[in-house]
Amino acid sequence: MSPPASDLAALIQQLEQQESDLVFDGFDHAAAWRLGSALVARATQESAPVAVDIRLGEQQVFHAALAGSFADNDAWIERKCALVRRFGVSSFLFGRRLAAAGKSLEEATLLDPAHFAAHGGAFPILIDGVGVVGTVAVSGLPQSEDHRMVVEVLTEFLATASPDRS
């Protein structure tokens, strides 16, 4: 059963706000290592069987597969990140917008779902004044939990990197 339209609209608004809030001043390979390490630490703390991936453009700059994750998680990451690169928004936000419209990815975009996935867990790396420069992704949990983990760690990471952020 689908959530009521008002709940879905509220969720979409919340996801859009996350993308407005979670913006970097800059991001490089060293930041990717720190962010990826923070995600691995969180996943380890939660005993989450996930794969973690960070890309700058097309280059994979961080990847870790934790105990209990599978090669399928890497395939999901590839498809979720392809969607983020294509549309510039999180895979969860895109999927919830599709759900609100009552459409599948294929119906709405004509894209092959073998190459793109509108399921939560991939988030754009956004730089203020620049836009999307990469992706950060988690795969292995239900899509809302993959998304939650990424957003929580991004929020903490940005608060630590820029203590003047509110």
Residue 74 forms part of a structural domain: yes
Cα separation, 137 vs 52, in Å, equals 6
Residue 35 forms part of a structural domain: yes
Residue 90 forms part of a structural domain: yes
For residue range 101-141, list pLDDT tens digits in order: 999 999 999 999 999 999 999 999 999 999 999 999 999 99
Residue 61 forms part of a structural domain: yes
Residue 154 forms part of a structural domain: yes
CATH number of the domain residue 22 falls in = 3.30.450.150
What is the tally of structural domains in the chain?
1
Residue 166 forms part of a structural domain: no
For residue range 39-63, list pLDDT tens digits in order: 999 999 999 999 999 999 999 999 9
Whole-structure pTM value:
0.93
Contacts of 32 (CB under 8 A, 6+ apart): 54, 56, 61, 62, 134
User: How do 122-127 and 59-65 pair as beta strands?
Assistant: unpaired
Residue 12 forms part of a structural domain: yes
Cα separation, 61 vs 92, in Å, equals 22
The domain of 157 spans 5-161
pLDDT at 10: 95
Cα separation, 38 vs 17, in Å, equals 22
pLDDT at 2: 55
Task: Report the mean per-residue pLDDT for the chain.
Answer: 94
